[in-house]
Chain A
Amino acid sequence: GQNIDQPTEMTATEGAIVQINCTYQTSGFNGLFWYQQHAGEAPTFLSYNVLDGLEEKGRFSSFLSRSKGYSYLLLKELQMKDSASYLCAVRDGNSGNTPLVFGKGTRLSVIA
């Protein structure tokens, strides 16, 4: 089976740094993905990790440890517009045919 866990809600202050964790248990692994979803809107793609380590993209970074089944999304210099849900997703098969399995999402509130 597949199991993806991430915190339900988090709150952080404008200008600060926040780390959103995601742990997963899957029979196979072919990539971990992060999406951002503002309330009432469609998810948008943020990042992709398939090898261990940190991928940086502007204010956002994503880390992966395959041996620990663990990833985090790091958001720096938080802005009010970063208030959204952040979805962790995993592909547990070995081809592009294998669908992404999404976690339930972490709702981040950025406060002044």
Chain B
Amino acid sequence: EAQVTQNPRYLITVTGKKLTVTCSQNMNHEYMSWYRQDPGLGLRQIYYSMNVEVTDKGDVPEGYKVSRKEKRNFPLILESPSPNQTSLYFCASSSVPAVNTGELFFGEGSRLTVL
């Protein structure tokens, strides 16, 4: 089954404790991206990657890191989480042609709470 898998789905952590949210897709997609979704603000892009070893900042990259060492994986790293990073996070992927037509495939989301 074609899917984008995120882990963990739910996490409560404390300020300053490094964490990684993993994202993996099995569709051989070149494009992968991370979004955060907050009430009243909608979906905002954090980082994206057009292919292996190629990453770029989105609209809200501060406090986050990513890496793209393999095509299927695109982990989101919070080196020192803060309460304002409490949010619902979505990973998305797409093939290059589908990116042009805006068809993103989203993971199920990871709800992160930073105390």
B75 lies within 8 A of chain A by Cβ: no
Q: How many A-B residue pairs have CB under 8 A?
A: 55
Expressed in whole angstroms, the Cα–Cα distance for A37 and B31 within the complex equals 21
Mark each residue of chain A from 25 to 63: 1 if its CB lies under 8 Å from any CB of chain B, else 0: 000000101000000111111001000000000000000
In the complex, residue of chain A having the shortest beta-carbon distance to the beta carbon of B96: A96
Chain A residues within an 8 Å CB radius of B107: 42
In the complex, residue of chain A having the shortest beta-carbon distance to the beta carbon of B105: A45
**B residues engaging A (CB < 8 A)?**
31, 33, 35, 40-45, 48, 50, 56, 58-59, 90, 96, 99-109
Partner of A99, one of B58, B105, B106: B58
Chain A residues within an 8 Å CB radius of B31: 96
The count of residues in chain A whose C-beta lies closer than 8 Å to any C-beta of chain B is: 21
Quick check: A100 and B50 within 8 Å, CB to CB? no
Q: A48-B101, A48-B102, A105-B42 are in contact. Are A99 and B108 (CB under 8 A)?
A: no
Shortest distance between the CB of B10 and any CB in chain A (Å): 12
Chain A residues within an 8 Å CB radius of B58: 99
Quick check: B59 and A99 within 8 Å, CB to CB? yes
Expressed in whole angstroms, the Cα–Cα distance for A71 and B43 within the complex equals 19
Chain B residues within an 8 Å CB radius of A89: 43, 102
Partner of A91, one of B33, B44, B96, B102: B102
Shortest distance between the CB of B29 and any CB in chain A (Å): 12
